[in-house]
Structure 1
């Protein structure tokens, strides 16, 4: 046996403690042929693991692909820097990016899907690792490419940017519910260009930021958001939004006792 070969096991033991450890690639539990593409385009090819602690709740089957209710809860991870919501088989996969800041890493919203697809939420922890959860939804085709009822209304322009909602205490937390009136046009409907909300910011009554969201066209029209907050000081909540045409909207929600 060559001299180096005799000492190779010992060398490996000595060097092993300094070698980086790489986990074997995980198989996608939802068996999507688009997962590798989503990992690269949505998550930037950064480290990602499938994690049941990121809970995504939605109906197994829907009749209206224009409004699929989705709730996400990543609170079991502890500190979360950002959550992204996306659908693998949508022509426009990414629905939103949510930086919780002082909010809990929990939210609910409705989104459009263009066909049966995995809907996923990925939560990035403080070490930069994405923890991915998701569920399959069976939906009819075309949810992203159908004209919205809002466009059929003669007064939709007068409602543009109007905000409705409330903040109330529920047990040990405050719950925030907010609707922003907007058609959220995807640009996939003939003769209707892309026109959607792009930014949403929540601040307390003193102007201190609570959360930031980047929004995209796959959200359902007139999106309704639900958030949770452990503690909210002051008697109102400041909301600021912007859309893809540069329109800015703002308002305040009173905090109910």
Structure 2
């Protein structure tokens, strides 16, 4: 090998190294908090390594601790993921949400936004016919659960329940796979935030149940807690069954019910 060839090879390796480092930059770490939580979340069930079933993408250092994106992408399409639990080890309420998925969501490609209160593992525990599998990332973020709301409480409550659907593609046929994003206006108060005028704590008030349907077919449902971000956003892919709209029904901890039909051809 000539000196020039060797230098070129070294440069190529150097340029490739950040991509490899980026891929493994924030794996799950040892966690005493998880050891304390594990039984409450999964009981005595065995937990397989989810690496061959799905990937979890989350920032190593979050730009905004109150809206940390978590993306779950299924890599083994032959093993159905029927449900998933998202756990943030160090949050005051570690179980962020439980999801159940319909057949049209397979293979799973799903993203949500969560609050992270301090440096923590973010785990996804997937339920399959073969049992439970876990994956996740370690996220550097702090203060997400107590971060001030982005809107004045009166304004936030006035727009509560508004929904928007965005489709990222137009299918060539009714059975095509599509990608959508649903946003729901809701302050999702954690109970740890202070009113910026009175400095009193704002009582917890958040979306606790949610269902998304296309026609008579359920896509997914969620049981959520305080770790879901303000104005929850869910981005997902699904097999289009030809219905004209997505129907969303959500309830919150104050007993409010929000139900909307969102045309699939809606944009923006």
For normalisation by structure 1, the TM-score amounts to 0.81
Give the distance between the partners of 1:230 and 1:169, measured in 2 at CA.
Answer: 12
Partner of 2:182: 178
1:157 aligns with 2:157: yes
Number of positions where the alignment pairs a residue of Structure 1 with one of Structure 2 = 226
Q: Is 1:196–2:206 an aligned residue pair?
A: yes
SS at match of 1:35: helix
C-alpha contact 1:169 1:256 (8 A) present in aligned 2: no
2:223 to 214, 227, 232: 214
How far residue 153 of structure 1 moved from its aligned partner, in angstroms, is 5.3
In the alignment, structure 1 segments of 5+ residues that lack a partner are 1-27
Runs of 4+ in structure 1 deviating by more than 3 angstroms, as ranges, are: 167-172
Q: Paired residue for 2:76?
A: 76
Structure of greater Rg: 1
Distance apart, 1:75 and its partner CA: 4.9
Q: 2:117 aligns with which of 99, 111, 114?
A: 114
Q: What is the CA–CA distance in structure 2 between the aligned matches of 1:153 and 1:245, rounded to whole Å?
A: 15
CA contact (8 A) 1:195 1:245 kept: yes
The Cα RMSD (Å) is 2.0
Give the Å deviation of 1:135.
Answer: 0.7
- Decide whether aligned partners of structure 1 residues 211 and 93 sit closer, same or farther in structure 2, where only a CA change above 3 A counts: same
What is aligned with 2:58? 58
Between the aligned partners of 2:109 and 2:42, the Cα distance in structure 1 is 19
Cα offset for 1:191? 2.4
Alpha-carbon separation, structure 2, partners of 1:115 and 1:48: 25
Residue number in structure 2 paired with 1:136: 138
Check the 8 A contact 2:58/2:139 in 1, yes or no: yes
Answer whether contact 2:28 2:137 (CA < 8 A) is retained.
Answer: no
Q: Which runs of 5+ in 2 are unaligned?
A: 1-26, 194-199
Deviates more, 1:141-150 or 1:82-91: 141-150
**How far does residue 113 in structure 1 lie from its aligned partner after superposition?**
0.6
